[in-house]
Structures are given as C-alpha cells and as structure tokens.
Amino acid sequence: MLGAGPRDLAISGGRFVDALSDPDVVIDARGLVALPGLVDLHTHLREPGREDAETVLTGSQSAARGGYTAVHAMANTAPVADTAGVVEQVWNLGREAGWTEVVPIGAVTTGQQGTQLAELGAMARSAAGVRIFSDDGLCVADPLLMRRALEYVKTFDGIIAQHSQEPRLTEGAQMNEGAVSAELGLPGWPAVAEEAIIARDILLAEHVGSRLHVCHLSTAGSVELVRWAKSRGVRVTAEVTPHHLMLTDELVRTYDPLYKVNPPLRTQADVDAVRAGLADGTIDVVGTDHAPHTSEHKCCEWTAAAMGMVGMETALAIVVEAMRDFDFDFADVARVMSTRPAEISGLPEQGRIETGRGANLVLVDPEAEVRIDPAEHATMGRNNPFTGFTVSTRIVDTFLYGHRVVAGSALADPHPIARGGTWIA
C-alpha cells in the first residue's frame, strides 16, 4: 500500500474514513499498491461531433481501466467547447456515463480561430465550473491575445494551458527536425518552435502574474525554460506525456503512423531531459494527451495520417518503465499522476488518500507481466504506440467515490450517478 508498509483502508458514504467495525464488503489487496485515483489534465474525448473516434462514454471507460478517477476533456470538439452550453454538455455526458469525473476544458478563443477570446467567464460560471482553458491542437500564437487571456482568467484564478507551437516555424512539419528528418526527407519541426512560445508565455505570465500551464512539453530546452521560470517564481506548471518519456524520432524510420504525434517524438537527449525534469519536479505532471483516431486516419501513408496517440489505459505502466533509472517510486507516481494534477485543477476530492476526502482510489499490481494489446482496451482508438510492449504494472481495481468501477482489471459497474445519484452519498 502507499505509505509506510501495509495498512487497511476504510470507505463509507463515498469517503475515506478512519475505520469500520462491521464492513459490508472486504477486499483483499495484499501485494497491491494503493494510489489515489489518477487525474489526467489532458485528454481528447472527441464528443461532441467526432463520435466515430471516441465518445465520452468510451473515453470514460478507458480512463477507469487506466486507474483514472478524473480526466480533463480538451476543447477541440465539433462544435468547439467555447461556450457554456458545450462545456455543460460534455460535463453532463461524463456524469451520465459514471465511470470517471469528466472535467471540461474550455477553448481560449472562439472556434479555436485565434482571433478573439471565447466566453471564458460564462464557461467559468457554468455548471461545469471551467477553470482551465486551452486551444490545444492549435497554439494561441497572437501575443496580445495570449496576454488578454492570461489577464482575464486571473480574475477567477483560472489557467491558460498552452499548446506551444509557433505556427510559422512548423508549416508542413511531419516530424522532429534533426538528423532523422534530414535522412528521410520529411519536413521537420524544430525544437525552437516549441521553446520560443514557452519562453514568450513565461514572460507574459510573469508580467501579468497569472497561471500558465505548458502542455505536452517535449524538448530539453523546454525543460530548462520551465526550470528557469520556476526559479523566478513565475506561476507556471508543465506536463509531459508517457510517449515523450519513452519514444524517440528513430521510430519514424518505420513510417508507421502510430508514431506520428503533435508535438513530434524527439531525440534520445530530449527523452533523457524530460525524464530528469519529471524526476526533479521541474515537470509537474504526466498528461496522456489521449488522442484516438479512426483507422482510416491512421492506417494510411505517413504524410496523410493524423497526429495523435491513445494512452490512458497504459499510462501508469509506461511511466513506471520510463522512470526505472531514477529514484522514482510509487509515491512519486502518485505525485505526478494524481496529487499534483488535482491541485493544479482545483479538485479537492481527488488526489489524496486521506480521511474525509472522496474515496477515489486505484489498486495496482506492481509485479504483473502484461503485454499491451489495444484490441483489449475500452477506448475506440487502436493507435497505441506501445502495442506489443511488455510492462510490469497492472491496474487491478478502480474506485470512484467508493464505488468499484473496475474489478480485476475489467469494467464492473458505473457509479450510481449514472442513474441519477450523487458522487458522494
């Protein structure tokens, strides 16, 4: 169990309690690790409008199987989640599904067009209570618009989560710019295209005194920029994906579109740097950037293929594998995949195993041997770059507010909220 040796955990009324004298159900978790339910700050659930790739229901089921009890749904749907009505629709779909908390992220600009601010205040005041805003998939490239967004969300302690990609430096880019792109003859995406936006936004956030979150950081230079910003007291947080912790641009030599992603897979030096940044706390969280696509958008030639990978059901296991060479135990896994993301988003019932908090919990087998097979996953997306990998960690059970939504690694029953109940009885 997480903490100093084995101990019992008691749950009553959807919350952790000190003890139960006569429990209704007893679960034998000997040999398993108990972690707070995982929290993902970066997913693409595709609904509304792209239900052929994923729905809130299937994405929620995938999240539960991956140990997630809260996921944040990005705004690049169709229609874009840029109004109170759309974010409330996504929020309600999550509650109707009942497999995990679904927290909508609102768009920064109307239609993600990058020309005028979206209805940030209305989304913040909606039933969904949006606090994070992002045009992810696209960069808020206009510096004045980015400044205004940071100023606006500061009024309610919101966050702008930036997809750091200078568009003029990445026109037509197909992969990381470097030796491999030169050999393959594919247009490259230079590291500076990410780093230039991060540097600009750090300075804007410092000037305004607002909160900036750097999405899917991928280069060694980006790690150094965030480290510098934190040393200056800038209110910046950063995330890294499991695939950027593990995979490099050498895989593009296969021309397998499974490895086509935005930002692109980088070099081994970049992988080493982001691992070190996660270990020392420069990078705050792991976000999956779960991005399912239909087979016709992935099973095609490289240049025509969509960018993106799925990853919620394999994220924890991949993080464990990627961080083996560091002093990085399950307490650190909990910090970067649960506690810290819950703190950033402001989810008081998530992220900690403590008396009185919501009983959001995952039980993990740390000595399993699992071969990753996307055909067995709940997500509709089959574009998992770790297909065929053997990992040593398996999600056994997931509890959402005390309700066992995953049992023995299989989907069990959704939380009663899906039948009109409440998260906590």
pLDDT (average), residues 314-328: 97
Whether 64 is in a domain gets the answer yes
Whether 303 is in a domain gets the answer yes
Whether 125 is in a domain gets the answer yes
d(CA 346, CA 338): 12
Query: Is 262 annotated in some ligand binding site?
Result: yes
| Residue among 31, 25, 24 nearest 6 (CA) | 31
Whether 4 is in a domain gets the answer no
Query: Is 383 annotated in some ligand binding site?
Result: no
Q: Is the pLDDT of residue 254 over 70?
A: yes
| Residue among 67, 89, 73, 45 nearest 379 (CA) | 45
pLDDT tens for 270-299 read 999 999 999 999 999 999 999 999 999 999
Q: Is the pLDDT of residue 332 over 50?
A: yes
Residue 375 DSSP one-character state: G
Whether 5 is in a domain gets the answer no
Question: Catalytic pick from 40, 82, 249, 289?
Answer: 289
Whether 278 is in a domain gets the answer yes
Overall domain count for the chain: 1
Query: Is 207 annotated in some ligand binding site?
Result: no
Query: Is 76 annotated in some ligand binding site?
Result: yes
Give the model's confidence band at 2: pLDDT under 50 very low, under 70 low, under 90 confident, else very high: very low
Query: Is 213 annotated in some ligand binding site?
Result: no
Query: Is 42 annotated in some ligand binding site?
Result: yes
pLDDT tens for 46-97 read 999 999 999 999 999 999 999 999 999 999 999 999 999 999 999 999 999 9
Residue 337 DSSP one-character state: I
Whether 319 is in a domain gets the answer yes
pTM, to two decimals: 0.97
Whether 28 is in a domain gets the answer yes
Active site residue 249: no
pLDDT of residue 418: 79
- Residue 18 burial (C-beta neighbours within 10 Å; 0-12, 13-18, 19+): exposed
Please provide residue 4's backbone torsions phi and psi, each rounded to the nearest 5 degrees.
-85, 85
Phi-psi map region of 126: left, alpha, beta (phi>0 left; psi -120 to 50 alpha):
beta
Query: Is 243 annotated in some ligand binding site?
Result: no
Q: Which CATH number goes with the domain that contains 131?
A: 3.20.20.140
Give the model's confidence band at 250: pLDDT under 50 very low, under 70 low, under 90 confident, else very high: very high
State the residue range of the domain holding 140: 10-419
